[in-house]
Amino acid sequence: MALPSTVATLTPRPVAVALPVLPVKKAPSTLAYRVTATTYWPEVGQTDDNPMETADGSIIPRRHSSKTRWLAVSRDLLAHWGGPFSYGEKVRVSGMSEALDGIYIIHDTMNRRHRHCVDVLVNEQECKNGMEGRWSGIQLRKLGPEPTWQAG
């Protein structure tokens, strides 16, 4: 005896799937970089043929010193070449010395042979009095935007 043939029809039905919701990690607003730092003063042997003009077009003051707080960075650190910093940006430098640590403004670019380096602007007399040097493992920290205050 033969069995009757039956056709089964299945219809899809929605199924609820619970996925865990993980918090999104935000990148820190200020990033720190480890760099090598050196000092320089504007003379043709350490810069280009126009030593008093920086890469961003600023003119180094005649009576500059380490208190001027200007910084040259290697190209790999500049936004133009894919880095995190731009001309005119303020950065905190720490790990060199009590006299040189502090907040600097990026105004200049180092020679293309340098990588992950910064150059601190000083005057020649300061270097002769012991400020000349090379420091490894210096922390370079990007400063966030300054708050704007409004009367409320």
Query: What pLDDT sits at residue 132?
Result: 81
The answer to whether 118 touches 100, Cβ cutoff 8 Å, is: no
Q: pLDDT tens-digit profile of 132-145? A: 889 999 999 988 76
Strand-pair category, 70-73 with 102-109: parallel
Query: What pLDDT sits at residue 27?
Result: 47
Mean pLDDT, residues 19-34 taken together: 66
Q: pLDDT tens-digit profile of 72-111? A: 999 999 998 889 999 999 999 999 988 899 999 999 999 8
Residue 126: band (very low, low, confident or very high) from pLDDT cuts 50, 70, 90: confident
pLDDT at 122 over 80: yes
pTM of the model: 0.72
Residue 17: band (very low, low, confident or very high) from pLDDT cuts 50, 70, 90: confident
Q: pLDDT tens-digit profile of 57-67? A: 888 888 888 88
Question: How many angstroms separate the CA atoms of 67 and 70, rounded?
Answer: 8
From residue 112, give the alpha-carbon distance in Å to each of 67, 75, 109, 126, 141. 26, 6, 8, 26, 22
Please give the helix or strand (H or E) that residue 125 lies within, else none. Answer: helix 124-126
Of 142, 117, 138, 141, nearest to 40 (Cα)? 117
DSSP conformational letter for 4: P
The answer to whether 112 touches 104, Cβ cutoff 8 Å, is: no
Angle at CA of residue 43, ends 38 and 45, nearest 5°: 80
Question: Domains, the chain, ranges and CATH?
Answer: 32-142 (2.40.40.10)
The answer to whether 72 touches 41, Cβ cutoff 8 Å, is: no
